[in-house]
Amino acid sequence: MYGTSGTTVGRHADDFWLRVSRSSRTRAPRPTGQGPLGAEQLLPDSVPRPRIHRTVDWIDGEWFYQGDVFDLVGPAISPTPDLQHEPLLDDHWWGALRAALADLATASAARTTPRQQWIEENLPKYLGTPAPTSIEWITGHGDLQWANLTATP
């Protein structure tokens, strides 16, 4: 049974992955340029990622649903965001990751996270250092961690 907050489930078939997310109806429609669809629209082709083949959004009662069909990729380096074992990745893999992140940094972004106010409040609070007065903003991956990376560059 679903809880009251957002829920995401996924299943694979052949070379495809179906991902269905549910959130409050108040979150409809999808924000332009964000999430997997935003990545497909805004990122250069040189940034490796599962490609989206189809999207469907619908509202049912109080819920907003998003369905996406992706290429099936994987397996992930780790089943969790934290590494369980040494990943044994070669220099080519690390070079490909650096190149992908550099290409990602050139893409335009639909939103800024974290915001300047958050930086000004939290850097001094948690790091004991003043917030910078000037920040160079670049596009980055919103959830870059080991369960979102594959060993294949």
Spatial distance between the Cα atoms of 107 and 139, rounded to a whole number of angstroms: 6
Joined tokens for residue 122: 């939290």
126 Cβ contact list (under 8 Å, min separation 6): none
Joined tokens for residue 106: 């050139």
Whether 153 shows a pLDDT value over 90: the answer reads: no
Q: What is the DSSP letter of 35?
A: H
Instruction: Give residue 64's pLDDT band: very low, low, confident or very high (50, 70, 90).
Output: very high
- The closest of 33, 45, 145, 41 to 100, measured between CA atoms, is 45
Instruction: Give residue 67's pLDDT band: very low, low, confident or very high (50, 70, 90).
Output: very high
> Which pLDDT does position 1 carry in this prediction?
36
Instruction: Give residue 2's pLDDT band: very low, low, confident or very high (50, 70, 90).
Output: very low
For the entire predicted model, the pTM comes to 0.74
For the chain, the distance separating the N- and C-terminal CA atoms, rounded to the nearest angstrom, is: 37
Q: What element of type H or E holds 59?
A: strand 52-60
Spatial distance between the Cα atoms of 17 and 119, rounded to a whole number of angstroms: 36
